Amino acid sequence: MYNIGMAINVKELRIVFMGTPEISAGLLRTLLDNKYNIVAVIAQPDKPVGRKGILQKVPTKVVAEEFNVPVYQPVKIRKDYEFLEEINPDLILTFAYGQIVPEGVLNIPKYGCLNFHGSLLPKYRGAAPIQFSLINNEKVTGVTLMEMIKEMDAGKMYASKEVVIEDSDNSTSLFKKIETASCELALEKLQDYIDGKLPGEEQDVSKVTFCPTIKPEEEKINLDLSAKEIWGWIRALSDEPGAFLYLNNLKIKIFKALLIDDNSTGQPGEIIKADKSGFVFQTKCGCISILELQKEGKSRMDYKSFLNGNQGLLGKKFN
């Protein structure tokens, strides 16, 4: 904890914000709207999007430019951070930046570096905490305001805010909930941190769990899993990039589904219902009722629209 023993308004500090995607852009906008002195934003480089490869600005850059805040986008922050010494920040805030922040950066600001992490630490350290809370069918998750140290997500915890996960939540909706919680946490606790009112709590290493980046090959649904596990993956991968299976050699992305506790005797992947009352396939334990899906080369649609154009599926198998 950093405190020099005198009253300082956190909004007067020189703050560098490090973040890249939409979820961090929401926090950045909240800080700027509330007159925090964001002197620079550091984000991942812009990337080409679509078939034409048009370069698209990352979300935090869009917000920063709207408020006339300088943006830096080093390809590798561990090799290129000398500019930060010239900026001379008092505090660095990070949220979903996308690169490991080197120790040299952590040592620059006198009030240290704080990270907003999308889980209730020490659970779900790593790259995909929001998705894994859905994969594992958690009922509660949250965001933790934590100290950044050399070891990833291992610093002291200063404050946290819980978020309830509803059965209707998917990755898109849960990211939005975490974004809202991070904004509330920042406005409620950053001043307390600067005032030295948050001593910080060491993480219980016996309770640490890790969640890696989800690989492209994991987007294909594993039919060796139970219905509950498959349902978790469907929610975690929706709305983007979408969990999928193959049917008649065509990729079928499943965006929304219901979990059905049914001990049918069908084979894993076998379609046991395909009519107006439902589109259901068997798993090793339980069934999945598909509500929204997308056939390769087509638009996303509800199951009834899909079945209208795809007859005779009863008894066929997803693979």
Instruction: Say what the pLDDT of residue 52 is.
Output: 84
Q: What is the overall mean pLDDT for the chain?
A: 95
> Among 175, 193, 211, which residue terminates a domain?
211
For residue 264, pLDDT beyond 90: no
For residue 286, pLDDT beyond 60: yes
Q: Name the band, by pLDDT with cuts 50, 70 and 90, for residue 6.
A: low
Q: Which of 137, 155, 145 has its CA nearest to residue 116?
A: 145
Reported as a single tens digit per residue, the pLDDT across 154-197 is 999 999 999 999 999 999 999 999 999 999 999 999 999 999 99
Please give the Cα distance from 65 to 142 (Å, whole number).
29
Q: Name the band, by pLDDT with cuts 50, 70 and 90, for residue 138.
A: very high
Reported as a single tens digit per residue, the pLDDT across 194-242 is 999 999 999 999 999 999 999 999 999 999 999 999 999 999 999 999 9
**Does residue 4 fall inside a structural domain?**
no
Q: Which of 137, 117, 139 has its CA nearest to residue 129?
A: 117
Range of the domain at 227: 218-308
Alpha-helical runs (H) found in 195-300: 227-236
Please give the Cα distance from 315 to 247 (Å, whole number).
12
CB 20 within 8 A of CB 58: yes
Q: Which of 20, 59, 12, 27 has its CA nearest to residue 145?
A: 27
Query: What pTM did the predictor assign?
Result: 0.94
> Among 173, 194, 211, which residue terminates a domain?
211
For residue 4, pLDDT beyond 60: no
> Among 211, 232, 251, which residue terminates a domain?
211
Residues above pLDDT 70, as percent of the chain: 98
Residues 199 and 237 in one domain: no
Instruction: Say what the pLDDT of residue 151 is.
Output: 95
Please give the Cα distance from 255 to 124 (Å, whole number).
24
